[in-house]
Structure 1
Amino acid sequence: MNSVGAVIVASGYGGHGKKQNPMEEIDDLNIAAQIVVTFQRAGIKDIVVVCKEEKENLKKELRGFGVSFLYDTEDNEGEMFSSVKKGLSYLETRCERIFVCPVEIALFTKDTVEQLMKNPAKLVIPSVNYHAGHPILISASLVASILGYQGEKGLRGAIQSLSVKPAYEVVKDEGILVRADSVKDSDEIVRQYGETRMRATVKVRLTNRKPFFGPGMVTLLREIESLGSVREASEKTGISYSKAWSMIRDAERESGQTLVERQPGGKFGGAASVSKAGKEMLEKYEQLEQAVESYTTKKYQEIFQN
């Protein structure tokens, strides 16, 4: 189980009932990608974007980011709670704690995410100048109660109905409040966010005769293990079914191991699971990736910031 995951709501409406545009850009980067990058820089890998089925342009834009996609098919005009529930339900058994954030709140920083994770409370809400913002951090133990909420006040009402009181974490980050559609009035916040965004990145890939195991393969295997189906896993990761199998076959050929156990069957593609060898490779890859990222960050700070 991953300790922390994240749900990004990009299904059409945000916390104020206003229409979202996840493709809107701030400082030449679309807001959905801004949030994904911020979470990933804080070490969060299990990220779910909840959107409408017609958001193919968003899937295309985020395809290389290693995120999963869920579709909210409910007619929920002006309300994002059904999307929140879909994301929480999906990550409930995969993560111990889950961030929730509407896509239009895109300028919070990595430092804020890390500060929130250090707070051990079951429900953590960032606050600046006595105003609560996003992202909020929810314990998986509270998800069932949130999913069972039947009131009309959405996520706010679900939180108010919990027996657990929120822990308000005071941060020095006004980005937790700034909506993308009001960013023109927040030039200083955009500038400060841009200053924190520069970093060194290294994409870790295992290579034999050719590269065969990297972030895309990791996301695919995680979804196969969770869903028990290559077809469903490919849909969630935003790649075609044939591409998914091509990636699996290449990885197995180059590694010399069976990574996915198959059980043929019918038009839905049969059942599948990650093999013992596949799980071991996943674990070792993630250890290597974490070590490389840690070293890269350290050397970047030594060389560029000192």
Structure 2
Amino acid sequence: MTTGAIILAAGTCEKMEEFKPMMKLAGTSMIQRQMDTLRQAGVSPIVVVTGYRAEELEKHLAHRGVIFVRNETYETSEMLDSVKLGIEAVIKECDRVLLLPSDTPLFSAETLDAVMRTDAEIAIPVCGGISGHPICLHQKAMEQALAFDGEGGLRGMIHSGALPLKEVSVEDQGVLLEANTKEEYQKLLQFEEQARMEIPLEFRLRLELFKGDSFFGQGTSEFLRRIEKEGSMLKACQEMGMAYSKGWTMIKKAEERLGFCLVERQAGGSRGGNSFLSEEGRDFLQRYEEFVGAVWQEAKRLFSQYFEG
């Protein structure tokens, strides 16, 4: 199953002077920490719904191969409105999505695996009897969220009883820790520092293809996905928060290294000017993504073999 993620980062927080998604956490930012864990669990695509200080956040994450969706009415809209924008961006390509606010960075990859293993339309991690994040929505739940206009917003939709809900018990306090106040942020930092000595050894991979130099990786892969979905290189660039010239340079470099066309471009005509993947481009993208998945599975097996215990 294809699992995406929607990180909700559009809102403001009057109780915090700093911009929460970019607040520091062990040498990185909170939102980058979330992305690292999501990638570790094989989650892709990742959508970030921006609003408040959108340009600053999009620049901060421009190299991470994520999709940006802006909530232009973030000052007056509800969280469910941001959720709907995120779902609309990925519902056609994902079997399920993980929903999480940008100030809950300490959940584990093991928790993500546990939440994703359930077949219920809605799955919520629970630690010590308290519900946390991320929440997992399957296809019917995503459709329900898009159609919901009742009371209570996202919480009202989840607990409406219209769809099966599964509470997944986990021993991961990270699902509960957030940073809505300065005091909560300090507790989060203290927990992370203490937990760092207790958490199990992990590994992370960044897979790139080289031919003399690096020319194809996660960012290029996601960019090609966006082009195929939107039928437009310009729209793909806008979704990923990159300049059109940068996107063009990325594709041109990959095509030069590979020796064949990845993206075909059509100006005007009956189809009205668009971009789409060539047959070779679709085949190459599929091979790359299957390769990444196979490497991750083998790396997990080897990691367990050499470092278990």
**Which TM-score applies when normalising by structure 1?**
0.89
Q: 1:209 Cα shift?
A: 4.1
Q: Which moved more, 1:109-118 or 1:178-187?
A: 178-187
Letter matched to residue 207 of structure 2: V
Matched residue, 1:118: 117
CA distance in 2 between partners of 1:183 and 1:293 (Å): 33
Matched residue, 1:72: 71
Q: 1:284 Cα shift?
A: 0.8
Is it true that 1:245 corresponds to 2:244 in the alignment? Answer: no
Unaligned 5+ segments in structure 2 are: none
8 Å Cα contact 2:40-2:204 kept in structure 1: no
Is it true that 1:208 corresponds to 2:204 in the alignment? Answer: no
CA distance in 2 between partners of 1:243 and 1:78 (Å): 33
CA distance in 1 between partners of 2:185 and 2:201 (Å): 20
Is it true that 1:292 corresponds to 2:291 in the alignment? Answer: no
Q: 1:127 Cα shift?
A: 0.7
8 Å Cα contact 1:13-1:79 kept in structure 2: no
8 Å Cα contact 1:107-1:193 kept in structure 2: no
1:40-78 deviations in whole A, cap 9, x for unaligned?
100112110000274223222222222111111124447
8 Å Cα contact 1:125-1:168 kept in structure 2: yes
Matched residue, 1:258: 261
Is it true that 1:218 corresponds to 2:221 in the alignment? Answer: yes
Matched residue, 2:239: 236
1:69-218 to 2 correspondences below 5 Å: 69-77=68-76, 79-180=78-179, 181=181, 182-186=184-188, 187-188=190-191, 190-192=193-195, 196=199, 199-218=202-221
CA distance in 2 between partners of 1:169 and 1:283 (Å): 33
CA distance in 1 between partners of 2:15 and 2:165 (Å): 25
Letter matched to residue 228 of structure 2: E
CA distance in 1 between partners of 2:169 and 2:95 (Å): 22
CA distance in 2 between partners of 1:78 and 1:191 (Å): 37
Letter matched to residue 136 of structure 2: L
CA distance in 2 between partners of 1:196 and 1:60 (Å): 31
CA distance in 1 between partners of 2:163 and 2:204 (Å): 39
Unaligned 5+ segments in structure 1 are: none
SS at match of 1:95: coil
SS at match of 1:233: helix
CA 1:62–1:198: 2 relative to 1, 3 Å: farther
SS at match of 2:22: coil
CA distance in 1 between partners of 2:195 and 2:300 (Å): 19
CA distance in 2 between partners of 1:157 and 1:198 (Å): 39
Q: 1:170 Cα shift?
A: 0.6
SS at match of 2:159: helix
Matched residue, 1:21: 20
Q: 1:13 Cα shift?
A: 4.6
8 Å Cα contact 2:12-2:52 kept in structure 1: no
SS at match of 1:249: helix
CA distance in 1 between partners of 2:67 and 2:197 (Å): 26
SS at match of 1:115: helix
Matched residue, 2:32: 33
SS at match of 1:242: helix
Q: 1:210 Cα shift?
A: 3.4
Quote the sequence identity (%): 32
CA distance in 1 between partners of 2:246 and 2:201 (Å): 33
1:36-47 to 2 correspondences below 5 Å: 36-47=35-46
CA 1:303–1:102: 2 relative to 1, 3 Å: same
1:14-39 deviations in whole A, cap 9, x for unaligned?
8xx97762111222321111111111
**Which TM-score applies when normalising by structure 2?**
0.88
1:160-185 deviations in whole A, cap 9, x for unaligned?
33511311111101111111241423
Counting matched residue pairs gives: 301
CA 1:171–1:13: 2 relative to 1, 3 Å: farther
Q: 1:88 Cα shift?
A: 1.1
CA distance in 2 between partners of 1:127 and 1:167 (Å): 10
CA 1:125–1:201: 2 relative to 1, 3 Å: closer
Matched residue, 1:227: 230
CA 1:198–1:83: 2 relative to 1, 3 Å: farther
2:273 to 270, 273, 277: 270
